[in-house]
Structure 1
Amino acid sequence: MVRGLLQGSDMLAAVSASQMRFETDNGLLSVLPVPLPDTTRRIGLTFRAGSLPSPATQALLRFIYQQVQDGAV
């Protein structure tokens, strides 16, 4: 929805750079050089006590952990 609003108007939005990477990489949207200090936050994972994650969830968790170890996030 935000993509459509931004592309079809002169609106502005403050969103994560990764959310609009395709659009900015392909010249569909522009990034304004506005400093936004202290806008990062920690993200966590929550697990239900006593349950085992499915194989798909386990694969996703391995991927997330690897990204963190590699410094990608």
Structure 2
Amino acid sequence: MARFFIDRPVFAWVISLLIVLAGVLAIRSLPVAQYPDIAPPVVNVSASYPGASAKVVEEAVTAIIER
């Protein structure tokens, strides 16, 4: 089989180009999701400070937790 392509180099080039062209067409037709839908990680933290105002909770608890 190798002798066949050695004796016919133009035929070998044509076959090679057809294979490359088929590969390019196949790659272009494949569906690709550039930005797939993912759920980003989420952390919920709940803090309570009975009897404190929202401002005090923000300054004394939330600010410390967010660090």
TM-score (structure 2 length as normaliser)? 0.27
User: Over alpha carbons, which structure has the higher Rg?
Assistant: 2
TM-score (structure 1 length as normaliser)? 0.25
